[in-house]
Amino acid sequence: MSTVSMAANQAKQDEFNPFKSMAKGFDTAADHLGLDDGLREVLRLPERELKVSLPVMMDNGSTRVFEGYRVQHNFLRGPCKGGIRFDPHVNIDEVRALAAWMTWKCSVVNIPFGGGKGGVICDPRTMSQGELERLTRRYTAAIMDILGPDRDVPAPDMNTGEQTMAWIMDTYSMHVRRTTTAIVTGKPLNIGGSRGRREATGRGVMISANEALKMIGMRPEDTRVVVQGSGNVGGIGALLLHREGYKIVSLSDMYGTVYNDAGLDVPAVLAHLNESGRLEGYDECEHLPNAGQLELDCDLLVPAATENQITSENADRIKARLIVEGANGPCTAIASEILTDRGVVIVPDILANAGGVTVSYFEWVQDRMGYFWTEEIVNSRLEQIMVEAFQEVAETARKYDVPMRTAAYILAIDRVASVYKLRGVFA
């Protein structure tokens, strides 16, 4: 392989490495803030990383060993906070990036958490409920020494949910010999979950889209929307946008894309999805392959699936004038630059999808108080925090004359750096 080819391959690998994408955004913001090299290193690197081997008895009587991670990026502003994902493609750089993004996300919305993230390399689609429960409990036991309501508070993420959190809460509680509901968020309501939590990330996307339209002078009823994904972020986000008057023209799941130029009946689409388990088979639309969905004609694009969906390879074909990032890291750093140069406004993930961690914070507070709020109170407080954060990011963008992604990093990093300067270095 020639030197040029090797360099091109390395550049492509770097673009798709989520931790390097995070670091690029971090460094750009740190330059604007004038942070010294020592402080940059402190804030960029994770404070703790744990890798665990997880032997699990499978239904057929065999033992299989899974690999898991928990990364705690930063404790300066409070306990680490972040989801746990079960996925075949989990890797340590992905978990590092997601943990760092959680630090900046919590800081952007100004809640007292640092960032953490966890993952287990597995394919939940091929595992029984019993196997998933045994894996979850083994993983919890393996990372117990670094968990706790004042240390690290996990939450659901890709392929995990309320039941997974219930198993974690129970496993932790059995080890410490007391029921500890505040050890996780995203739990079922009857064991300390919060009203409005399941809808929170999608609601945050909707609030961010509303604020972005005001900023660029558009109206929901004139806005055609493509949503990549149809789960708790994409599906709920699409439903809430639909209720606000947006025209949702496309949704997708892992099996394919549905499209209707006149606008989808989103409640009907989601009812079909809930009944059949996939979008395939829904009438009143065209069925398209997922490849190319992001390039459909629209005003607002909501990538709400996973990271690295908009890259240097397809950024030039994106037609939307506004992107609200429902997923973590859906645009690579290079793609974000290409889109910004074209005048596309991007509401970055660490702002747009912060609704989930904000209501997770509410759940943690309610668990510690032993007093629970109505859904109206949860949604009202979420909107107040999200709108205020959006306005602060927009003001920072104007102040520094930078895109919203850089502005969000500047705001977040400055808050964490100021805490570091106040607390000093423990010797």
For residues 116 and 196, give the distance between their C-alpha atoms in angstroms, rounded to a whole number. 22
Q: Tell me the residue type at 75.
A: F
CATH of 45-179, one of 3.40.50.880, 3.40.50.720, 3.20.20.70, 3.40.50.10860: 3.40.50.10860
Angle, helix 92-108 to helix 404-423, in steps of 10 degrees:
80
Query: pLDDT digits over 89-139, tens only?
Result: 999 999 999 999 999 999 999 999 999 999 999 999 999 999 999 999 999
At residue 14, does pLDDT exceed 90?
no
pLDDT at 425: 78
Q: What is the mean pLDDT of residues 212-223?
A: 97
Q: Return the closest-CA partner of residue 118 out of 79, 90, 159, 89.
A: 90
Q: Which of 105, 117, 187, 247 is catalytic?
A: 117
Q: What is the pTM of this model?
A: 0.94
pLDDT at 4: 56
Q: What is the mean pLDDT of residues 249-260?
A: 97
At residue 9, does pLDDT exceed 80?
no
What is the homologous superfamily of the domain 200-352 according to CATH?
NAD(P)-binding Rossmann-like Domain (3.40.50.720)
Expressed in percent and rounded to 5, the helix, strand and coil fractions of the chain are 50, 15, 30
* Alpha-carbon torsion (368, 373, 379, 383), positive or negative: negative
Q: What is the mean pLDDT of residues 358-377?
A: 98
Tokens of 55: 């032997």
Reduce the DSSP state of residue 270 to 3 states and report it: helix
Half-sphere exposure of 309 toward its Cβ, with a 13 Å CA cutoff? Answer: 25
pLDDT at 297: 97
At residue 6, does pLDDT exceed 70?
no
pLDDT at 400: 97
Taking a C-beta distance cutoff of 8 angstroms, is the pair 358, 109 a contact?
yes
Tell me, yes or no, if the two domains 45-179 and 200-352 fold the same way: yes
For residues 305 and 410, give the distance between their C-alpha atoms in angstroms, rounded to a whole number. 26
Distance of CA 313 to the CA centre of its chain: 23
Spans of all domains in the chain: 45-179, 200-352
pLDDT at 201: 96
- Reply yes or no on whether 117 is catalytic: yes
Q: What is the mean pLDDT of residues 45-53?
A: 97
pLDDT at 94: 94
Backbone angles phi, psi at 117, to 5 degrees: -160, 150
pLDDT at 237: 98
pLDDT at 13: 77
At residue 64, does pLDDT exceed 70?
yes
* Alpha-carbon torsion (158, 159, 162, 163), positive or negative: negative
Tokens of 166: 């219930």
pLDDT at 1: 62
At residue 340, does pLDDT exceed 70?
yes
